[in-house]
Amino acid sequence: CKIGTREGSISIKESKWAAPIEVTDTDVAPSGNIEDKKQTRFPLGSVIEVKVLDLESESIKLGLEQAPLAQGALVAVDPFSGQIKAMVGGYDFKESQFNRAIQAKRLPGSAIKPLIYAAALDRGYTPATIILDTPLIYENREIETGKVEEWKPKNYEQKFYGPTRFRFALAHSRNVVTIKILEDIGVNYAANYVKKLGLETPQQRDLSMALGSPAVTPLEILTAYTVFANGGFLVPPNYITRIRDRNGRILESIDPADFSNGMAADQRLIRKPPRRVISPETAYLTTNILESVVREGTGWRAKALKRPSAGKTGTTNDLKDAWYIGFIPQLACVSWVGYDQERPLGKNETGSRAAAPAWVNFMQEAEKQFPVKNFRIPDTIEFHPIDKKNGLLLAEDSEKAYFEVFAPGTAPTKMSGDKQLKAKDFFRLDMEGTL
């Protein structure tokens, strides 16, 4: 094809994703995948949307472009200052001025789980706590009709996994374990906890909260995640740091450095100060577990950054919303994908598949300005060798030893034996929820 007076070409690599679409009787569309029919000719007058990949070469390199039916949003913030570094509210501002990053309230799905797990850590749970992943049945009787409805929560994989460590449950987004944890710590306690993390949307105070029943905006839930990233402070996001006139003179500012230059009080932009809402230990433990989400769980795509990162996928039960929320020590970012008029994104369109790639693409560019750093570990954090099977202590030189992180004084005191748990232990585990 021609771009002005220059020739342009689209490689098979850049077009292999193309597939047939449903067409009307009057439309003409090639059958089969483009990769299978390299010589497909389109009728004269066909309009093909393309994007320019490379203008420097003699032949302009192009890629197929398509205006998507689904929408998306992305926000990135500095977790320490709250300054918004990037914001995308939708695919095309000319088509829709609705800013989904701050206006669209959508169900977070499993992206709510880290907030509940953080609440559990402050109620005595540890990353090594064992919870039994077994079937649950809840009955709800309608007052007016007396009709009884059953709710049987399941994991995404439609399986139950038995004794499961707290860390593993979050890394692999186990629904049933999360519900058991929420039931144990109390719905009201958890709802108040996530509110102090920055979720202003009123929480639905029942067990469906474990699966992400309260709708939130992308910026709202990202703000909650920054509490983990910055060591326990709720830092309100801010959009504007300075306002200048056309000559560059500062008219208003939030920077204390500007205040020292004689700026009047009425020129200072009002900004809510950060406040501590959880301990640095809880913030770090949650972050450390979210690193496992990336290393071994549903957030595996974020490993492409090749640096320490933490995050969590989010997928609603009906696949209407896909999320990935993650952070490196210097930057936190949320990616959301879904339809404005809520409907399923499609089979297997989970947070990992639909939202995480956009997060990775953005962060791979954004990270270039930051040195590689590890997350800061509070001095009080303890490391102890445990048995992954039962969460109990092991000798440091044991081949099965896995070093787990603990808040001070919370590590297990019992040593693990080589024998399996006895039947009475499984019964107690199922009845009490923890071992």
Q: What pLDDT, in 10s, does the model give residues 332-374?
A: 999 999 999 889 999 989 999 999 999 999 999 999 999 999 9
Angle at 152 between CA 148 and CA 156, to 5 degrees: 155
CA dihedral 252, 257, 263, 266 (to 10 degrees): 50
Q: Residue 364 and residue 214: Cα distance in Å, rounded?
A: 31
Contact call for residues 74 and 362 (beta carbons, < 8 A)? yes
What tokens does 364 get?
A: 């791979």
Tell me: the pLDDT tens digits for 232-279? 999 999 988 888 889 888 888 877 666 666 666 666 666 778 999 999
DSSP H stretches of helix in 88-157: 113-121
Q: Residue 69 and residue 425: Cα distance in Å, rounded?
A: 52
Mean pLDDT of the chain: 85
Rg of the Cα trace of the chain? 25
Residue 115 has a CB neighbour count (10 Å cut-off) of: 26
Long-range contacts of 8-16, Cβ-Cβ distance < 8 Å, separation of 24 or more: 8/50, 8/59, 8/60, 8/61, 8/62, 9/59, 9/60, 9/61, 9/62, 10/50, 10/62, 10/63, 10/64, 11/61, 11/63, 12/38, 14/53, 14/61, 14/62, 14/63, 14/64, 15/63, 15/64
pTM: 0.82
Estimate to the nearest angstrom the gap between the alpha carbon of 189 and the chain centroid.
Answer: 23
Residue 231 confidence (pLDDT):
96
Q: Residue 359 and residue 269: Cα distance in Å, rounded?
A: 31
Place of tokens 């067990």: 207
Residue 201 confidence (pLDDT):
78
Pick the CATH number of 104-236+276-366 from 3.30.2180.10, 3.40.50.720, 3.40.710.10, 3.30.2130.10: 3.40.710.10
DSSP reduced 3-state for 109: helix
Estimate to the nearest angstrom the gap between the alpha carbon of 322 and the chain centroid.
Answer: 9
CB-based contacts of 161: which residues, under 8 Å, 6+ apart?
Answer: 133, 155, 174
Show the low-confidence residues of the chain (pLDDT under 50). Answer: 23-37, 420, 423
Residue 61 confidence (pLDDT):
77
Identify which of 338, 348, 358 has the alpha carbon closest to the alpha carbon of residue 68.
338
Q: Residue 16 and residue 412: Cα distance in Å, rounded?
A: 53
Q: Residue 218 and residue 106: Cα distance in Å, rounded?
A: 8
> How is residue 183 annotated by DSSP?
H
Q: Domain coordinates of the chain in residue numbers? A: 1-66, 104-236+276-366, 382-432
